[in-house]
Structure 1
Amino acid sequence: MEFAFLGPLTIKSGSLTLSYSGPRNKSLLAALLLDVNRAVSVDRLIDVVWDHPPETARQQVQNRIGRLRTLLARTPGQGIRNAGGGYLLEVREEQVDGLRFRRLCAEADQARRLGELDRAAERLHSGLGLWQGSAFQDVNSLTLRGDVIGWEEARLNAVESLVEVEFSRQRHSSVIVDLHNWVQRYPYHEGLHCRLAEALHAGSRTGEALRVLQQLRLRLTRELGLDACAAVQSLQCRLLRRTPDADEPAQARAVHLASPNTTRVSRLLGSAIPFA
């Protein structure tokens, strides 16, 4: 049995997708998946499922857990058990896409530290390939919003790491298509736009690179009332001069993907949250 939440919330048994529909059922399952193999209190489940819990909330949680247990019982050794005054969903790491994503990112970080860039790139590509939309895309729970943002931040960190790895491997052109997709998803992320511009420039497409930066500056001004950060302006000036990157120190050339301040990042992530 496999559980997925890096996109629509789904349960699969082999090739069969099991039905566990309904917004409250999905919220309940989401809460259990966020703390797999750990007890989740009934109070926590109630907070996740209802903004304004009814008097029968505890009984309803028990009923919904019962239906989920029945569904999971189709697979031997899979289930939910009572624990610590709450419920615990027992799963193995390989059964949950989010846990596999987290492991692959950790392996990529280790590979980068060891200088194994090919392995790091492979792990990051595999991890990002698990995403099928926004985290918990069809779950609508205000209580889970912080958790959803945390997963989107993890995804963005993986994107940033992959771009850095590919640039270190001098594979600028190989990441251009992905960068185009990512800047559409994160339309205010200055670092990713800078990396796209640099990749285009490295492929002798400087005109396109300048258009990417100009469109970003216009978007920030018109939609957020913000000026582009210094890194964007510096890169735009450098491309206009067509100054070879090799003429500048590495520290001056670097465009840090995490350059936007907290406000910018919050706005950028908000565009990817289904119930923001």
Structure 2
Amino acid sequence: MRRGGLTGPFPASTGEGEDDVEFCVLGPLTVCRDGRQLPIGPAQRRRVLATLLCHPNQSVPATRLVDAVWGDDPPRTARKNLQVHVYHLRRTLGDADLIASGSTGYGLRAEPSTIDAWRFERLVDGGQDASRRGELRRADELLSAGLAMWRGSAFTDLDFAGAARREALRLEELRLVALEARNEVRLRTGRHHGLVADLLAMLAEHPFRERLVGQAMTALYRDGRQTEALAVFHRTRCALAEEVGVDPGEPLTNVYKAILAGDELAVAKGNG
């Protein structure tokens, strides 16, 4: 979710009656009140809510919401239909003030902590800060807690379009960053044995993420599998040259050279 304060025509929410509502987007879009999942409704209504959730406490123009719901072919009654969807969302949420109306659109008034994506980002930030301070156990705990919040791809039950698609891509990138950060923490604490299989699986899905390649090479090398570690580099170099037309970056090349030289300290530094 986008961070920052309230913008647009809506006054700041008092927070009354909101704390029992939780919005979850790290998987299928769900809304819960007092631990009970609420029925959001049909796909068009879910797209309206998803778009509002991408811009919490901000005014979202009605034109943008119409585009998110109907794309390039909205019906003549799109504005009226949008009003109906907002009406039903307000009823479902149990608090009409949660979706405010403005002169040009609507806005979801929600405390950031009620949105799982916001909490995820806070945990990732905290984990990365702890890692930089050398608090590796704490870093692992925070990063793992954030990653455990995912229930599938973000907004996985929606056909991607507009703001929801952009936000899903952004959150997926942050998830990969969090995984790489946790990998680094576990490599620094000597937990390479349990990492190899997971790293190779991740690498098969994301073969051009060079930080991930370096981590896989490091885990293999520390597991006594130097030949396999070097083979990973060669495969990556060939794939980059054939499909992208570039060479591996300096950090990954340094890991390769350190493994060739058997320099454990340099291998660790190359992944830092």
Q: TM-score, normalised by structure 2?
A: 0.76
Q: Which residue of 1 aligns with 2:138?
A: 119
Q: Which residue of 2 aligns with 1:152?
A: 172
Sort the Cα spacing of 1:214 and 1:19 in 2 relative to 1 into closer, same or farther, 3 A. Answer: farther
Sort the Cα spacing of 1:63 and 1:198 in 2 relative to 1 into closer, same or farther, 3 A. Answer: same
In structure 2, C-alpha distance between the alignment counterparts of 1:249 and 1:4, rounded to whole Å: 39
Alignment check: 8 A CA contact 2:25 2:155 kept: yes
Q: Percent identity?
A: 33
Q: Give per-residue Cα distances to partners, 1:230-266, cap 9 Å, x unaligned.
A: 5545544543x351323x497xx4147xxxxxxxxxx
Gaps of at least 5 residues in structure 2 are: 1-20
Decide which moves more: 86-95 or 213-222.
213-222
Q: Secondary structure at the match of 2:153?
A: coil
Q: Which residue of 1 aligns with 2:270?
A: 254
Decide which of 34, 40, 43 is 2:54's aligned counterpart: 34
In structure 2, C-alpha distance between the alignment counterparts of 1:72 and 1:249, rounded to whole Å: 53
For residue 124 of structure 1, report the CA deviation from its aligned partner: 0.9
1:74-153 matched pairs, under 5 angstroms: 79-83=98-102, 85-144=104-163, 145-153=165-173
Which amino acid in 1 is paired with 2:230? L
Alignment check: 8 A CA contact 2:218 2:267 kept: no
For residue 123 of structure 1, report the CA deviation from its aligned partner: 0.8
Sort the Cα spacing of 1:159 and 1:89 in 2 relative to 1 into closer, same or farther, 3 A. Answer: same
In structure 2, C-alpha distance between the alignment counterparts of 1:149 and 1:58, rounded to whole Å: 28
Which amino acid in 1 is paired with 2:270? A
Gaps of at least 5 residues in structure 1 are: 257-276
Sort the Cα spacing of 1:114 and 1:188 in 2 relative to 1 into closer, same or farther, 3 A. Answer: closer
For residue 118 of structure 1, report the CA deviation from its aligned partner: 1.8
Which amino acid in 2 is paired with 1:254? G
Q: Which residue of 2 aligns with 1:266?
A: none
Q: Give per-residue Cα distances to partners, 1:12-36, cap 9 Å, x unaligned.
A: 3456443335432222111111122
Alignment check: 8 A CA contact 2:24 2:117 kept: yes
Q: Secondary structure at the match of 1:173?
A: coil
Decide which of 34, 45, 50 is 1:25's aligned counterpart: 45
1:199-210 matched pairs, under 5 angstroms: 199-210=219-230
Alignment check: 8 A CA contact 1:7 1:135 kept: yes
In structure 2, C-alpha distance between the alignment counterparts of 1:190 and 1:179, rounded to whole Å: 12
Which amino acid in 1 is paired with 2:150? W
For residue 67 of structure 1, report the CA deviation from its aligned partner: 1.4
In structure 1, C-alpha distance between the alignment counterparts of 2:244 and 2:156, rounded to whole Å: 25
In structure 1, C-alpha distance between the alignment counterparts of 2:97 and 2:120, rounded to whole Å: 21
For residue 46 of structure 1, report the CA deviation from its aligned partner: 1.7
Sort the Cα spacing of 1:211 and 1:16 in 2 relative to 1 into closer, same or farther, 3 A. Answer: farther
Alignment check: 8 A CA contact 2:254 2:270 kept: no
Sort the Cα spacing of 1:233 and 1:108 in 2 relative to 1 into closer, same or farther, 3 A. Answer: closer
Decide which moves more: 100-109 or 6-15.
6-15
Q: Which residue of 2 aligns with 1:60?
A: 81
Decide which of 52, 71, 91 is 2:92's aligned counterpart: 71
Which amino acid in 2 is paired with 1:122? E
Decide which moves more: 163-172 or 117-126.
163-172
For residue 103 of structure 1, report the CA deviation from its aligned partner: 1.4
Q: Give per-residue Cα distances to partners, 1:156-187, cap 9 Å, x unaligned.
A: 22223223333333433344344234323323
